[in-house]
Amino acid sequence: MEPEIQMSGPVCLIENTKGQLVVNPEALKILSAITQPLVVVAIVGLYRTGKSYLMNQLAGKNKGFSVGSTVQSHTKGIWMWCVPHPVKTNHTLVLLDTEGLGDVEKGDKNNDTQIFALAILLSSVFVYNTMNKIDQRAIDLLYYVIELSNLLRTLSSPDLDEVDDAADFVSFYPDLVWTLRDFYLSLQADGEFITADDYLENSLRPKQDTDQNLQNFNLPRLCIQKFFPIKKCFIFDLPTHQKKLTQLETLNNDELDPDFVQQVADFCHYIFHYSKIKTLSGGIKVNGPYLESLVLTYVNAINSGDLPCMDNSVLVLAQIKNLAAVKKAIAHYDQQMSQKVQLPVETLLELLDLHSASEIEAMEVFMKNSFKDVDQRFQKELKTLLKAKQDDLCKQNLEASSDYCSALLRNIFGPLEEDVKRGIYSKPGGHRLFIQKTEELKAKYYREPRKGIQAEETLQKYLQSKESVSNTILQTDLALTAREKEMEEARIKAEAAKAEAQKLEEIQRQNEEMMQQRERLHREQVRQMEINRANFLLQRQRDLKRRLQEEAAKKAERMQAESRRLQIEIQQLQRVAPPDETCILL
């Protein structure tokens, strides 16, 4: 496939005119036409240190970016050259050559740092070109601009701030290639030879000490280590004799120092084979329109005046660092509270205790990451923000408690409300049953845990809203009860009259029974008397008969006795009388 665009030479992408950055529409038009993924290589360094020469070599040309041969800086703003990637098929290599830092004619440090920050933010490979060796000044400047680029990125693209995923982090930030020009030191450490990469790592290694005074030494190194996970170092000897440096563009390789030629070749090989595609957070691969959007976004953010003034680098660095420290402390507070707090919290004291614990941790995070917080201005600002967080959390807790309790009341009292609608309590005694059921449901509500501090107030508001319902039930109850009372009184009277009639009937029945019983008793007495009289008469008859029988028996006995006496006398007479006489007697 043919490359999407052919540029015979570089064009100005961002022009620096009297301290104002202006985007070149012609360059944007070129970018908008490139749909291939971009590998963006940007170079930054002091003016007159050979940056443009290296960029020309990456473009495969000796001429293109203005090299310059005087003490006057040639490159103003940022120049762009888009060429087909020499290794990656269907990719475009975008080379960004920047205005040299430290130009005494410019007299505006703000432009230096703005151009520096833009180069970092726009590139996927950032080349930091310095002279001779890695020193503290170069490290501090890189650290300072990293903080500025972080601030610029946050101001212009809030959604891209705080990349959490490690892989996402590595893909978003550029690789660092540190180039050391006219290197004169011996690559040795502890008597042993080391590589250029070892030299870079040793230079960026923080000291293992807890002394607070080492913060100025360790902080920049830790920041650079984190911001640039992938780092590479190249050293370059002097290209040729000092007098021929002004003719560097026209010299052939055989006229240059062989070591320098090989060093440049190694540099280009690394860029071509190991440079990565410019990628945004979320793994979005940047093409021309994406890069166009980034350029406009960052330049507009700079021109809006949101960035701090760069006159005092220490104060500005402190401001940037402390703003970041405040933000990191707030983020830590939010993270801790989101993990610890589940709204609604039962009591205000519990919520304040959780806030206090997270506030202490947030202050510790701030103290660990702050830098020269003069008069504790940022610490006070953090306290103000945390106080606002606390107030907002208390408000959220009130709302969460109220919402939860309202939903809970609807769930608990819903069946009761349905019963009221169906008229279950529209009856005599219904109000008492309604109040009894309400008390049961209130007890159930009180037993539910984690209702929060609005539990009682929400309950009382609910009960007050239902007072009219209770009053209606009461009035219905009273009316129905009065009617029922009247009906009951009438029933009682009717039952009393009926009972009285029944009583009279019973008395009459009892009287009749008594009369009947008396009559029966009288008849029984008469009959008994008759029986007694009959028995008496019968007994008398029996007695008379018995007397008669006894008298007859006695008479018979007397007669028998008399007969026996006569017989005895006869016998006696017979024994003494003569037979004749006896016969006569016979």
DSSP 11: E
Lowest mean pLDDT among 261-270, 391-400, 488-497: 488-497
pLDDT given for residue 335 in this prediction? 92
- Identify which has the larger pLDDT, 239 or 449: 449
pLDDT value at 313 more than 80 = no
pLDDT tens-digit readout, 3-27: 557 788 999 999 987 778 999 999 9
pLDDT value at 266 more than 90 = yes
pLDDT given for residue 570 in this prediction? 85
Identify the CA nearest to 175 among candidates 224, 222, 228, 225: 228
Which tokens in the block code for residue 233? 């170092």
Longest dimension (CA), the chain: 240
Give the helix, strand, coil percentages of the chain, each rounded to 5.
Answer: 65, 10, 25
Structural element, H or E, at residue 298 = helix 288-303
pLDDT value at 199 more than 50 = yes
**d(C-alpha 130, C-alpha 121), whole Å:** 19
pLDDT bracket for residue 108 (50, 70, 90): low
Cβ neighbour number for residue 46 with a 10 Å cutoff: 19
The distance of Cα 569 from the centroid of its chain, to the nearest Å, equals 158
pLDDT tens-digit readout, 109-133: 567 888 888 999 899 999 999 988 9
Which tokens in the block code for residue 170? 């590595």
For 308-343, b/e burial (b = at least 16 CB within 10 A) is bebeeeeebbbbbbbbbbbbbbbebbeebbeeebeb
Peptide bond into 220 cis (omega under 30): no
Q: Are 92 and 85 in contact (CB under 8 A)?
A: yes
**d(C-alpha 50, C-alpha 55), whole Å:** 9
pLDDT given for residue 87 in this prediction? 94
pLDDT bracket for residue 170 (50, 70, 90): very low
- Identify which has the larger pLDDT, 266 or 540: 266
pLDDT bracket for residue 312 (50, 70, 90): very low
Sort 163 into a burial class: Cβ within 10 Å, 0-12 / 13-18 / 19+: middle
- The CA–CA distances, whole Å, from 472 to 383, 414, 432 equal 54, 18, 13
What global pTM score does this model have? 0.56
pLDDT tens-digit readout, 319-370: 767 888 899 999 999 999 999 888 888 888 888 899 999 999 999 998 887 7
Q: Are 64 and 81 in contact (CB under 8 A)?
A: yes
Q: Three-state SS for 356?
A: helix
Cβ neighbour number for residue 425 with a 10 Å cutoff: 23
**d(C-alpha 89, C-alpha 258), whole Å:** 30
**d(C-alpha 153, C-alpha 424), whole Å:** 67
Q: Are 333 and 389 in contact (CB under 8 A)?
A: yes
**d(C-alpha 453, C-alpha 348), whole Å:** 7
Residues 6+ apart with CB under 8 A from 400: 343, 344, 452
Give percent of the chain with pLDDT exceeding 90.
31
- Identify which has the larger pLDDT, 94 or 75: 94
Which tokens in the block code for residue 463? 């009960």
Contacts of the segment 16-23: beta carbons below 8 A, 24+ positions apart: 16/76, 16/77, 16/99, 16/111, 16/115, 17/76, 17/77, 19/108, 19/110, 19/111, 20/303, 21/77, 21/111, 21/114, 21/299, 21/302, 21/303, 22/299, 23/295, 23/296, 23/299
**d(C-alpha 199, C-alpha 212), whole Å:** 26
Q: What domains does the chain contain, in order, with CATH numbers?
A: 11-159+167-310 (3.40.50.300), 314-532 (1.20.1000.10)
Mean pLDDT of 237-242: 71
pLDDT bracket for residue 274 (50, 70, 90): very high
Contacts of the segment 168-172: beta carbons below 8 A, 24+ positions apart: 168/281, 168/282, 168/283, 169/229, 170/229, 170/230, 171/276, 171/279, 171/283, 172/279, 172/280, 172/281
- Average pLDDT taken over every residue of the chain: 82
pLDDT value at 263 more than 70 = yes
Strand segments (E) across 132-278: 175-181, 188-189, 192-193, 231-235
Strands 78-84 and 92-98, bridge-based pairing: antiparallel
pLDDT value at 43 more than 90 = yes
For 207-225, b/e burial (b = at least 16 CB within 10 A) is eeeeeeeeeebebbbebbe
